[in-house]
Amino acid sequence: MPTYYMENYGCALAEFDSATMAALLESEGYQRVTSPDEADLVVVNTCAVRLDTEAKIVKRLNELKPLVKGKLIVAGCLVKARPSLIARVAPSASLVSPQNVTRIAEVARSPSRLTLIEGERDTNFMPPVPLRDRIATSSLFETWESTAVIAHLVGTSLLLMPKPRTPTLSSLDIT
């Protein structure tokens, strides 16, 4: 059974993308491991919001180089914002932008390095709702640029928080 290791840097949307990629990899038979040197596949999901996080990611990619025995995939918004930086730091890594996280299994299976930067997000896949301390967090969106709703389920409360620049939602049917 193939194995994968995943690290996530970033916001709630990055966490959602990590949950999406994990669910898709596991549906393809991958088993998660707790150390990069145990993994056939290493996935680093990145963030581009803060410069200090960017520096931390670059440092971590350099640390991972000798540990990765299989394929390295760098995903997330830093891939979209600074693909040339990631390509310089990790030249053998496949690159997957937030719009392409649902194609993670395709990238994992590919024998060659893939670069998926452009495209539209496939919104037909929804990972299982992650639970943390009895709080379920879920994000619903159409594309990276136009997040419709981030919903936090806390007990029986449902809080709807539209992303800035998103039209106000008058009603939402979540079943």
Is the pLDDT assigned to residue 13 strictly greater than 70? yes
Q: What percent of the chain has pLDDT over 90?
A: 61
Looking at per-residue pLDDT, the higher value among 94 and 154 belongs to 94
Structure confidence by residue, pLDDT tens digits, 113-140: 999 999 888 888 877 765 555 554 444 4
Give the residue among 61, 71, 75, 72 at the shortest CA–CA distance from 116: 75
SS3 content of the chain, % helix, strand, coil (to 5): 35, 25, 40
Give the residue among 138, 153, 86, 134 at the shortest CA–CA distance from 114: 86
Averaged pLDDT, 7-19: 91
pLDDT for residue 153: 33
pTM above 0.85, yes or no: no
- The structural domains of the chain, ordered by start, are 3-116 (3.40.50.12160), 128-175 (no CATH)
pLDDT for residue 125: 80
Residue type, 146: S
Q: From CA 80, how far away is CA 69, in angstroms rounded?
A: 25
Residue type, 44: V
Q: Which of 45-59, 72-86, 116-130, 160-174 has the lowest mean pLDDT?
A: 160-174
Residue type, 31: Q
φ and ψ at 31, to 5 degrees? Answer: -115, 135
Is the pLDDT assigned to residue 55 strictly greater than 90? yes
pLDDT for residue 130: 57
Give the residue among 25, 36, 128, 18 at the shortest CA–CA distance from 75: 18
Which tokens belong to 74?
């760098």
Is the pLDDT assigned to residue 171 strictly greater than 50? no
